[in-house]
Chain A
Amino acid sequence: MLFEQILFFVAAIGALAGALGVVLLRNPFYSVLSLIAHLVSLAVLFLLLHSEFLAAAQIVVYAGAIMVLYLFVTAYVGGTDRTFVRGGEMGLTGQFGVIMAGALFVVISLAILGSSLDALDTRGPDVDPGFGSPGAIGELLLQKFLIAFEAASFLLLVAAVCAVVLARRRRGLES
């Protein structure tokens, strides 16, 4: 129990620090690295929620594959500092954005605390050991949520075709 709490707070501080790093670091390359730290911390939190398969997917797919793609594009495009918000000269829209984000947090927190869900203040029901394992996820995915699974695969196909269309060198459209 105590170990669980310590792990939660360490992972939560890691996730928050990673998120703040993404927003505040000026070089986008460091932002991507900070997001990787954030995703690994989130995977620890997923493990605390008995979502073993999603934690593994988070590390392998997100922190592994997608972030490598990000790093490649960041290195290709080149991170120059001139296009980013500098510390002192954030401007009116920047300040407005920060205020709006704070207001968003307050509103979401009020919604959570005002939802009067009694189960929110518990650890959740006791689940059997197979909860969140690849077997349980696969069973749900191929039986109860088969249509969502097929729609997701179709969405991935569309995204792959879109990426090819967007990234190829084309004539005519550019001239």
Chain B
Amino acid sequence: MNVVWFVVLSALIFAIGAAGVMTRRSPLVILLCTELMLNACNLALLSFARMHGSGDGQIFALVVMVVAACEVVIGLGLIVAIYRKRMAIDVDALSELRG
């Protein structure tokens, strides 16, 4: 398969994830959609690594995976902390930080 197929597929997945971030209201699902976008980036990185025939892009994708794991840990910790305070799990209701 040509590399361009993989790159266009990653663009499509990235756009779907962005649509989810912009339309959903549950922070849990917004985190999931962020995962979608990160994975689309990983797919693009691996496609370009294959295109160049070098392993550097694969290391980059591995580091993106680490960053995604950290993001999940902190995001889920925040959601659990919000839930402990008996607040609504809804990004429209959580607007205290708005200027």
Contact = CB atoms under 8 A, between A and B. Distances in A.
Interface of A: 4-5, 8, 12, 15-16, 19-20, 22-23, 28, 31-32, 35, 38-39, 42, 45-46, 48-51, 53-54, 57-58, 61-62, 66, 69-70, 73-74, 76-77, 79, 83-85, 90, 93-94, 96-98, 100-102, 104-105, 108-109, 112, 117, 119-127, 131-132, 136-137, 140-141, 144-145, 148, 152, 155-156, 158-160, 162-163, 166-167, 169, 174
Contact of B18 (A20, A22, A100, A155): A100
Interface of B: 1-9, 11-26, 28-29, 31-33, 35-36, 39, 42-43, 46-47, 49-53, 55-56, 58-59, 61-63, 65-70, 72-74, 76-81, 83-85, 88-90
Given A45-B6, A119-B3, A140-B55, A163 B22 contact: no
B59 A140 contact: yes
A137 B55 contact: yes
What secondary structure prevails in chain A residues at the interface with B? helix
Given A46-B46, A105-B12, A166-B80, A148 B63 contact: yes
Contacts, number: 241
Nearest to B5: A8
B16 A125 contact: no
Q: Which of A51, A70, A84 has the most CB of B within 10 A?
A: A51
Nearest to B90: A83
